[in-house]
Chain A
Amino acid sequence: MVGSCISNSRYTYIHGSKWPNEEVDVHQIIVKKSGAKGFLVYFFALIILANAFHLFLVKGGSVIILLWSFLLDAFLVKLLWKGVTKESVVVMPAFGVQLETHYKSGRVARRFVPIDKILKPVLLECVTPVTCYWSLSFIVHGEADLVLVFKELRPPMKMLAPIWKALCAATGSKESLDTCKEDR
């Protein structure tokens, strides 16, 4: 049952319930398929392979060149398959939150965080050497580091806000934008 949907050029956010009669909240961030990315990866892999065969058969190059090109191709294809198709947050009130990461290979990584362990869900601004983005995390009792809700994806604030509000409601936290504030 789909509740709401937000979309942009990279992601689609879908909010719904898993079962109509239960209060299990499901928030999904789905990566929009990029045909260009897949095409480029396979295209480059093909060029590398063709070049290696050319060197091996026509120019009489060593078999090591062929092996290296196979390894490079395998790495490129693995990069594509390591990609994430979607990440979801399953909120089960009075029970816990399950975080799921779905990979292109079909593998699903899951992590369950009990509700009584979540001290507070926080929205933070993250800074990397090249960009800034918003991230949603949990302050978890007994853990030194924050637990990232979306480990692989960087959805925009408009998609994170409803998830954050739902998590605040589930954990009984006050809705306030957290900032790292300090006195000089």
Chain B
Amino acid sequence: MGERKRHRILMVSDFFYPNFGGVENHIYYLSQCLLKLGHKVVVMTHAYQNRSGVRYMTGGLKVYYVPWRPFLMQNTFPTFYGTLPIVRTILIRENISLVHGHQAFSTLCHEALMHARTMGYKVVFTDHSLYGFADAGSIHMNKVLQFTLAEVSQAICVSHTSKENTVLRSGLPPEKVFVIPNAVDTAMFKPAPTRLSRHEIVIVVISRLVYRKGADLLVEVIPEVCRLYPNVRFIVGGDGPKRVRLEEMREKHSLQDRVEMLGAVQHSQVRSVLITGHIFLNSSLTEAFCIAILEAASCGLLTVSTRVGGVPEVLPDDMVVLAKPDPSDMVQAIEKAISILPNIDPEQMHNRMKELYNWHDVAKRTEIVYDRALKCSKQNLLKRLSRYLSCGAWAGKLFCLVMIIDFIFWHLLQRWQPAEDIEEVPDFVLSHDQDDGIPRDNKNQSFG
């Protein structure tokens, strides 16, 4: 059997470090593990405040912070063609073989995938969220997704529910969509060294205090649980527009001594908050995967969660108590969790998480998707346009026009700045014994 194919991957998303969240973590950890597997990984995102230009992160991960300012919700302004010159330059100078876009919200991701397809590159898309079908925003988003996925080589979803949702929204053939769940850095999320006393039961909530995360449910659940169990205390970490409602609830029911509001919690501090509790409460109304549950389970906490989206797929039944997104059902679930708490061994739970969810496994599975994507046949412009035409009576024609203009623009760029004039950069290779970057010429590399 021949040597494993080495890929040169460009990860593209508007969401990346220094921002913190599920998508940001996913890109970072996946990139690190792919680098360890011997692939070359480059990340492209927009500039964050004064963080602009090229940066190198742990393991020699190269990040292009392109000086485009965020426009709305950390997204760059949609220009369609404005990003083509920089995307083309990065693809050529880094000798990229495959482009991997993350998150349907990301404008930069959609534009980069469009340009990469125009230039004949293989593209992979990962969807990290669930969407509706009825409201105006979702209808618009689904049309954009249909355009992006019309010609994607392969797609990845973080749960089976997410896959079902993506297939329905985009009309993508199910055999092109893979399910690769998220993972957790178990080395970062370890249980408390000493087991906590059960005289006082601490329930931890860490989430953005917004409607989608079920902050309104918490307002009704917390007072009821406090009434039923005098020895239960809540720690609420996170900030958002619904924080005011929680503060009001605390005042109304005089629970200042039993409900601790921490405000925004830095990602580096999440573990120290989690290990102070016995139960982790997740009240999300919609969730494609929910990494927070994994982090809590890795810290040895028993999870109580709403049965929504991909949440039921995340943990084994003995590690989680699921409930309908309804206050009374959630109170019952918390009661059940308190009753089974003596059977929970945090250390054992952590070890199980280590086996079940690790980033190396995610990277190996993603590698298979990349191999499949590169085997996809190349198609000429006319064949490609026929796919866009099937996206709708009006939308299809519009998508075709967008792609034709992109194709013309790309050819003009090739005339103005030929690919030969764009220099390939030396690769940053880490030696095993030191953390210094050693530039190495691309031609001497074994990358495919």
Q: Which residues of A contact B171 (CB under 8 A)?
A: none
Do A127 and B54 touch (CB < 8 A)?
yes
**How far is A177 from B53 in the complex, measured between Cα atoms in Å?**
16
Cβ of A80 within 8 Å of any chain B Cβ, yes or no, is no
Known: A177-B426, A179-B428, A184-B17. A129 touches B86 (CB 8 A): yes
B407-448 CB contact bits vs A (8 Å, 1 = yes)? 000000000000001010110100000001101000000000
B90 x A132 contact (CB < 8 A): yes
| Interface band, chain B | 20 to 34
Instruction: Indicate if the CB atoms of A184 and B439 lie closer than 8 Å.
Output: no
Report yes or no: B437 in contact with A181, Cβ–Cβ below 8 A: yes
Partner of B65 from A127, A183, A184 at Cβ < 8 Å: A127
Q: A126-B53, A131-B89, A132-B90 are in contact. Are A183 and B58 (CB under 8 A)?
A: yes
Residues in B neighbouring A127, C-beta threshold 8 A = 52-54, 64-67, 86
The digit string for B91-110, where 1 denotes a CB below 8 A from any CB of A, is: 00100000000000000000
Which of B82, B89, B423 contacts A157, CB < 8 Å? B423
B56 touches A181 (CB 8 A): yes
How distant is the Cα of A131 from the Cα of B67 in the complex, in angstroms?
10
Complex Cα distance A183/B28, Å? 12
Q: Does any Cβ of A come within 8 Å of B392's Cβ?
A: no
Q: Provided the pairs A127-B67, A128-B67, A132-B93 are in contact, do residues A179 and B56 lie with their beta carbons within 8 angstroms?
A: yes
| CA–CA, A182 and B56, complex, Å | 6
Inter-chain CA distance A183–B268, complex, in Å, is: 13
Assuming the contacts A127-B52, A127-B65, A179-B437, asked whether A132 and B428 have C-beta atoms less than 8 A apart, the reply is no
Please pick, from B58, B421, B437, the residue contacting A184 in the complex, using a CB distance under 8 A: B58
Bound state CA distance, A132 and B439, in angstroms? 18
Bits for A137-159, please: 1 = Cβ < 8 Å to B, else 0. 00000000000000000001110
Residue of B nearest to A179 (CB): B56
Task: Tell me whether A129 and B67 are in contact (CB under 8 A).
Answer: yes
Please provide the chain A residues from 170 to 184 with a CB less than 8 Å away from any CB of chain B in the complex: 176-177, 179-184
Q: Min CB distance, A64 to chain B, in Å?
A: 35
Query: Considering the chains assembled together, what is the distance between the CA atoms of A156 and B86 in angstroms?
Result: 17
Contacts known (A177-B439, A179-B437); A130 close to B85, Cβ less than 8 A:
yes
Given known contacts A129-B86, A130-B86, A181 and B426 CB-to-CB distance under 8 angstroms? no
The reply to whether A8 and B421 form a contact with Cβ atoms under 8 Å apart is: yes
User: Chain B residues with Cβ under 8 A from A129's Cβ?
Assistant: 66-68, 82, 86
Cβ of A9 within 8 Å of any chain B Cβ, yes or no, is yes
The answer to the question of B57 belonging to the interface, with a C-beta cut-off of 8 Å to chain A, is: yes
- Chain A positions within 8 Å of B56 at CB level: 179-182
A125 contacts the other chain (CB 8 A): yes
Closest residue on chain A to residue B426 by CB atoms? A177
- Central interface residue in A132, A177, A181, A182, by most chain B CB within 10 Å: A132
Residue A134 at the chain B interface, CB threshold 8 Å: yes
Residue of B nearest to A156 (CB): B423
Chain A residues, Cβ within 8 Å of B86: 127-132
A181 engages B66 (CB within 8 Å): no
**CA of A179 to CA of B430, assembled, Å:** 13
Contacts of B89 in A (CB 8 A): 130-132
Instruction: Tell me the minimal C-beta distance from A62 to chain B in angstroms.
Output: 38
Inside 8 A of B437's CB, which chain A residues have their CB? 177, 179, 181
**A132 & B64 in contact (Cβ 8 Å cutoff):** yes
- Is B212 in contact with chain A by the CB < 8 A criterion? no
Return the chain B residue nearest A180 by Cβ: B55
* Residues of chain A contacted by B82 (CB below 8 angstroms): 129
Kindly list chain B residues whose C-beta atoms are within 8 Å of the C-beta of A179.
Answer: 54, 56, 428, 437
Complex interface residues of chain B between 25 and 72 (CB less than 8 A to chain A):
28, 52-58, 64-68
A31 to B271, CA, bound (A): 58
- How far, in Å, is B417 (CB) from chain A's closest CB? 8
Binding site for B on A (CB under 8 A): 8-10, 124-132, 134, 156-158, 176-177, 179-184
Q: Which 3 A-B pairs have the closest CB atoms?
A: A181-B56, A130-B85, A125-B54
Query: What are 9 A-to-B residue pairs whose CB atoms are below 8 Å?
Result: A124-B53, A124-B54, A129-B67, A130-B89, A157-B423, A177-B439, A180-B53, A181-B56, A184-B57
What is B's interface to A at a CB cutoff of 8 Å? Answer: 17, 28, 52-58, 64-68, 82, 85-86, 89-90, 93, 421, 423, 425-426, 428, 436-437, 439
Given contacts A125-B425, A177-B426, 17 further A-B contacts (CB under 8 A): A9-B421, A10-B421, A124-B54, A125-B53, A125-B54, A127-B54, A129-B82, A131-B85, A132-B86, A132-B93, A134-B423, A156-B423, A179-B54, A179-B428, A180-B56, A181-B437, A184-B17
